[in-house]
Structure 1
Amino acid sequence: MKNSLRFTNAIKRFYTKMANSKFEYVKDFETQEKLLPNSWIVVRIDGKGFHKFSTKHNFNKPNDTRALGLMNRAAATVMNEYKDIVLSYGVSDEYSFVLRRQCPLYNRRKDKIMTYLNSLFTSSYVYFWNEYFHDVKLKYPPSFDSRIVLYPTDENLRDYLNWRQADCHINNLYNTTFWSLILKGGLTNCEAEQKLCGTDSAHKNEILFSEFGINYNNELDLFKKGTILLRKNIKHPLHEKSRQVIYPFHEDLIRDTFWDKNTNILPGQVSQEFDYSSVDRLPELVLKQLHLSDKVIRPDESKDVAKE
């Protein structure tokens, strides 16, 4: 037994010596790109081949609240792990994570930040699939690509977010009209594309209202504006102790009103107090973080629930 152990240790020493001498030179081929300091880091994650994926898994058209809820859940998981994220913005199969300017995460190594956030998001999407698609089996693994973009000024960052939200509106108006023409108007995909070719926003709104009685302004803000995830300190509905949660908002990012309310974002302060007493219903995403049943939905009901 002792001789066998000595032999094993000798083999280990031999290979350790070889690795540290003869073969170690291959490490010189590795490169490390560090992100510029004092700049906003945006990691944008985007679904690969999600048109096919959504078809295979029977997503509702033009918007599937289950799919959007799952995207938000995966993004919240990433935010809970990485406290340097001050804001996340999601629409469709895309999410952008904004890390504060002075973020020291992984010594600002680009490959580490990009791959770790992307892998956690993707694995979370798969992990929570059954919570949102109860009766739909995951037929094959989804995949997401990711990229990092640096923005040197607050104005650049705001313009980036404005661009993504404007894109959300444009795409959602098109998709809402396109699928109305198909599902309600009986057109084929090609016929719907031809009818919408060259139309502007006003024309699409007119088609929705005149042909299908749909007032686009009444569509859910979740669809029209996307989801903004912010880290907020709220009072627990039952015991009123302060809890930090990832809270979803569906608001206009482009106007100054949003930034006047959320003054912590640009200075890089990760969290802010939030009074949710004016809302009718706590978002499902928040309830899940608080480990509460969806029966606890209104702040004015929480005291009654606590007594029961």
Structure 2
Amino acid sequence: MTFLSPERLWLLGLLPLLAAAYTLLQLRRRQYAVRFTNLALLSQVAPKRPGWRRHVAAVLFLAMIALMMFGFARPATSVKVPRDRATIMVAVDVSLSMMARDVSPSRLDAAKAAAKKFIGDLPGRFNVGVVAFAGNANLVAAPSADRDAAIASLDQLVLAKRTAIGEAVFTSLQAVRSFDSEARQDPPPAHIVLLSDGDNTTGRTVQEAIDASRVAHIPVSTIAFGTPYGTVDIEGETTSVSVNKETLKTLSDSTEGKAYEAADAGQLDDVYRNIGSSLGFKIEHRDVAARYTGIALLFAFAAGGVSLAWFSRLP
């Protein structure tokens, strides 16, 4: 739970003072009663003490005050609200290292299959776009609700040299800004999901991409895909293509996204499933002060009720 006006919680500091004042009054009443040295006369003046019952109304009253103070600070709960115009950009690495077969049947084929399932399982209100990146980045499917077009674009991916992670982020951001006529002034809530197995080797830097994502308030979640044992044959030479997790983690952590790792197709499916379940909603804080006010009223009625029933007066 959070409070929309937490500065008002200082009022709770008055409760101990009220409790102390009540205790002091009770002690003074007891001292006054002790002045009657004639016990027989005392029993006639106060033949029967109410005992613990006289404190019930006071306790209920203090509880009511505490609840009202909590309500005055505007307590709020976090709720998940569906995103309107939500746009997901799926960026897929198509550099030559993605033809490594440490993941069956290959990194690229497994990535395409998982991305297709991810796109197909997204809520219908989502708009999805696809970016492919190697030496540069290309928008292969503009963001829209057309799932078939997005999925079909994945079948057209072609491997190429180098890896431009920064350019992939910039191309995704541009696609979001061009989503509709309102996007320039009122961009839709968006999230970039970027899958790669390598480092940024060309184009704008990852730091530049981080800065641009922060300005646009668009997080980038990354998936480091592959194992440390991947190799590819390029022009007759076998080259090791281990996954660079640090670069991707820096990108996601710095843009308030999440960093994932997947070493096989099954893990990749799990990653996409986790991402899909978290992107469909935004967290909002809803004021629940009325709830505390209502409970405070119940305590007030209870305090009045017991006081009338036991002492024939209101507290």
Could you say which structure has the greater relative contact order, defined with CA pairs below 8 angstroms and 6 or more residues apart? Answer: 2
Larger Rg: 2
TM-score range (shorter-chain normalised) is under 0.3
Larger proportion of strand:
2
